[in-house]
């Protein structure tokens, strides 16, 4: 584990310069993210926006037939206030946000979405879902319980529903880098990065059959960040879904990373480990703030780190041989 930076982050969630901890066995990741940090800081920083914030759990029921299943769904939609009260009962931090549903034959899938304060929210939404399950069974005796998790969540799986509706914090990180800084720090041009992003990330991912995703290596930075800050590392599966967008604006490189499924918390399992609590404190994520603000700050920092690593790798790939030379020098030298 090493800290890289300083990373200059601006926006409505935070305005700060930070060193970001990353835990990884891929040693070239540290200097790569650090190079992204240097060039973006010189360009004025990385602007981050939390576009959305929700954790999900889907519950699954079985009806005698499709007509009963469909009728139950329509009735549940008319009683959303009752469902919300049940989901929130027993927790002062759980806030019900929305529900999506699907009927497949005689099966009913309800995707419950909740805000969970500064916790990543896995257990909080499952507890809320358990309460909803019992309420549905009491209200609709013809339905039978199948599972408190029906995979329409979707937890730790790459799915279109997560990329479309979001699961966790939906973060957008963006920066604008003048051509002279691209040349000085990245040894490339805005046009080269933008063109490679289209050909590699967009077209390459399309022919590979990517699911609502187009990026070079979000998972690398995400895993390093998750391990260093005490997160459930398996959530990199849906977390690594995201879209890198790059274009040339008046000769400068506009570069953004949209990551709809960053799942992080500043309280809960793992956060009491000494190195984790130290890292969270250094990132300013243990301050007394309104519920949810520390977790949103952490997600914004994560998004900025992803942008740094993504930008640096794409720049390296525009130069033939640079990627392998760096790995050989840093891992085998």
Q: Write the DSSP assignment of 270-298 as a string of letters.
A: TTTSHHHHHHHHHTT-SS--STTHHHHHH
Catalytic site residue 232?
Answer: yes
Q: Distance between CA atoms of 266 and 331, rounded to whole angstroms?
A: 32
Give residue limits of the domains in the chain.
2-52+168-332, 55-147
pLDDT (tens digit, 9 = 90+) per residue, 153-204? 999 999 999 999 999 999 999 999 999 999 999 999 999 999 999 999 999 9
- Determine which helix (DSSP H) or strand (DSSP E) holds 177, and give its type and residue range: strand 168-177
> Does the domain made of 2-52+168-332 have the CATH classification 3.40.50.12280?
no
Q: Distance between CA atoms of 243 and 92, rounded to whole angstroms?
A: 35
C-alpha closest to that of 169 among 264, 93, 236: 264
Question: pTM to 2 decimals?
Answer: 0.95
CB 218 within 8 A of CB 242: yes
Q: Is 220 exposed, middle or buried (0-12, 13-18, 19+ CB in 10 A)?
A: buried
CB 99 within 8 A of CB 113: yes
Q: From the candidates 52, 100, 191, 327, give the one annotated as an active-site residue.
A: 327
Question: How sure is the predictor about 321, in pLDDT bands with cuts at 50, 70 and 90?
Answer: confident
Q: From the candidates 16, 26, 62, 88, give the one annotated as an active-site residue.
A: 26
pLDDT (tens digit, 9 = 90+) per residue, 204-262? 999 999 999 999 999 999 999 999 999 999 999 999 999 999 999 999 999 999 999 99
Query: Which CATH architecture is the domain 55-147 placed in?
Result: 2-Layer Sandwich (3.30)
pLDDT (tens digit, 9 = 90+) per residue, 296-306? 999 999 999 99
CB 215 within 8 A of CB 242: yes
pLDDT above 70 covers a percentage of the chain that reads: 100
Question: How sure is the predictor about 96, in pLDDT bands with cuts at 50, 70 and 90?
Answer: very high
In the predicted model, is pLDDT for residue 121 greater than 80?
Answer: yes
Most distant CA pair in the chain, distance: 68
pLDDT at 333: 65
Tokens for 251? 């000769």
Catalytic site residue 26?
Answer: yes
pLDDT (tens digit, 9 = 90+) per residue, 227-242? 999 999 999 999 999 9
CB 122 within 8 A of CB 55: yes
Q: From the candidates 232, 238, 293, 310, give the one annotated as an active-site residue.
A: 232
Task: Give ∠ CA 298-100-95 in degrees, rounded to 5.
Answer: 45
Domains 2-52+168-332 and 55-147 share a fold: no
C-alpha closest to that of 22 among 260, 229, 189: 229
């Amino acid at each position: 584990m090493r800290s890289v930076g300083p990373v200059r982050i601006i926006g409505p969630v935070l305005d700060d310069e930070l060193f970001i901890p990353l835990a990884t066995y891929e040693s070239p990741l540290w200097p790569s993210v650090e190079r992204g940090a240097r060039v973006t800081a010189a360009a004025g920083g990385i602007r981050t926006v939390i576009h959305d914030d929700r954790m999900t759990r889907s519950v699954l029921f079985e009806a005698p037939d499709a007509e009963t299943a469909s009728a139950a769904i329509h009735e549940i939609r008319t009683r959303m206030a009752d469902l919300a009260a049940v989901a929130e009962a027993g927790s002062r931090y759980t806030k019900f946000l929305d529900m999506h549903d699907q009927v497949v034959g005689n099966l009913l899938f309800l995707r419950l979405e909740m805000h969970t304060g500064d916790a990543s929210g896995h257990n909080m939404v499952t507890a809320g879902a358990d309460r909803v399950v019992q309420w549905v069974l009491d209200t609709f005796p013809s339905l039978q319980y199948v599972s408190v998790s029906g995979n329409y969540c979707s937890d730790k799986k790459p799915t279109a529903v997560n990329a479309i509706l979001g699961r966790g914090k939906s973060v957008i990180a963006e920066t604008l880098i003048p051509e002279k800084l691209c040349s000085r720090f990245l040894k490339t041009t805005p046009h080269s990065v933008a063109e490679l992003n289209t050909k590699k990330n967009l077209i390459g991912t399309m022919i590979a059959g990517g699911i609502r995703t187009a990026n070079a290596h979000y998972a690398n930075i995400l895993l390093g960040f998750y391990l260093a800050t005490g997160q459930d590392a398996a959530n990199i599966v849906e977390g690594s879904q995201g879209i890198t967008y790059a274009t040339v604006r008046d000769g400068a490189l506009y570069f953004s990373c949209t990551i709809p499924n960053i799942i992080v918390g500043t309280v809960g399992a793992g956060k009491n480990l000494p190195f984790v609590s130290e890292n969270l404190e250094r990132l300013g994520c243990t301050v007394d703030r309104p519920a949810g603000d520390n977790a949103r700050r952490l997600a914004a920092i994560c998004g900025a780190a992803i942008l740094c690593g993504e930008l640096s790798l794409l720049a390296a790939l525009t130069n033939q041989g640079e990627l392998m030379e760096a790995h050989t020098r840093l891992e085998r030298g």
